[in-house]
Amino acid sequence: MLFALIIAIAAVVIIGTSAYVLLRDRRDDLVVDAPADDTALDDVAVEDVAVDDVVVDGPRPSFRERLATARSALGGYLGAVFSSGRISSETWDDLEEALIRADVGVTTATSIIDAVREKVAEDGIEETAELPELIKAEIVDRLAGFDRDLSVDVVAAGGEPGPAVWLFVGVNGVGKTTTIGKLAAREKADGRSLVLAAGDTFRAAAAEQLTMWAERSEVDIVRGAEGADPSSVIFDAVERAGARRADIVMADTAGRLQTKTNLMEELSKVRRVAEKGVGTVTETLLVIDATTGQNGMSQATQFADAVDVTGVILTKLDGSAKGGIVIAIHSELGLPVKLVGLGEGINDLVDFDATEFVDALFE
């Protein structure tokens, strides 16, 4: 009897252990598409991957509300200068230093100070308390006179209407793919038809992310195999847009910034191929992370030298950005900032308003 009892207990233990192992294995089998390594996770994390339900409505965020960080930084630099009493030679040095620290750049800061100094001499102004309005007026003037519209009106060869092609360029990590997704949702809500082109074929996460945006916004997307020729993907997207009489093709491009020669050749090829069919490139939009400051200006200079940039989209302007890069882009590159990101929400990509921007920085 004792021997039989021992045998029974052993059988129960063996059966229970086998059942546990089987259950564990089945549970492990349910983990699908796990990243193969940490690199895959890093690639996905380059830009915001989460895509909420696309609902383009609600109030537009205000510059004053979202630029509190930039306003605080600039106020800290300028506050002591504006409250110092009478204008002296040190006032101009301090003002120039404050503007440079706010990412305006040396060349632009010097030019602004020279213009304001001339105005002060002409009007006989003596008190620093009168300087803020003069500086605001000078900056607004420098931001004026630019076309900030996104062009969609094109006529292809033969007089037939064709899609407007918007190329998006910029280094990895600036929010390029997310920007395309948000802008696509906005254009769709405004009644335009569009096709997205996943031209960043070197980073799988970019194509996956753009696909999610396309599905959420219910717009078409063309993507190729990983490592495929970006130009061919964009060409196919333009052809599909033409066949379906879509208004716009929004084309993502690879964000690798290699040598200036390679960059120029690749982007020139993309643009050339994009216009071989029924489409016309009406916008080449450079996406820059505003928090990178003068490093962002360096990127802008390289891309502007490589391709005919028509405008700039600044992301993360609500973050730790100091705001001065906006002024530098207009003054030094002669390019308009057309859109800015004032948050992570679908409605937070807004048209740039120069007066509202400057008021938000100085209020």
Q: Which residue has the higher pLDDT, 262 or 90?
A: 90
Q: Is the pTM of this model over 0.85?
A: no
Find residue 283's DSSP bridge partners. 166
- Are 165 and 119 in contact, with CB atoms under 8 Å apart? no
Give the span between the Cα atoms of 295 and 105, in whole angstroms: 11
When pLDDT is cut at 50, 70 and 90, the band that residue 29 belongs to is very low
Across 265-279, b (16+ Cβ under 10 Å) vs e yields: ebbeebbebbbebbb
Q: What percent of the chain has pLDDT over 70?
A: 80
Give the mean model confidence (pLDDT) for residues 210-223. 93
Give the mean model confidence (pLDDT) for residues 329-344. 93
Checking if the pLDDT of 20 tops 70, the result is no
Which class would CATH give 63-143?
mainly alpha
Superfamily assignment of 157-309 in CATH? P-loop containing nucleotide triphosphate hydrolases (3.40.50.300)
Find residue 284's DSSP bridge partners. 167
- The structure tokens listed for 11 are 């059988």
- The structure tokens listed for 192 are 């335009």
Q: State the DSSP H helix or E strand holding residue 253, giving kind and residue range, or none if neither.
A: none
pLDDT on residue 154? 67
Give the mean model confidence (pLDDT) for residues 173-190. 93
Question: Which tens digits make up the pLDDT trace of 84-115?
Answer: 788 988 999 999 998 998 888 899 999 999 99
Per domain, the residue ranges of the chain are 63-143, 157-309
Give the span between the Cα atoms of 343 and 48, in whole angstroms: 12
- The structure tokens listed for 241 are 């847009």
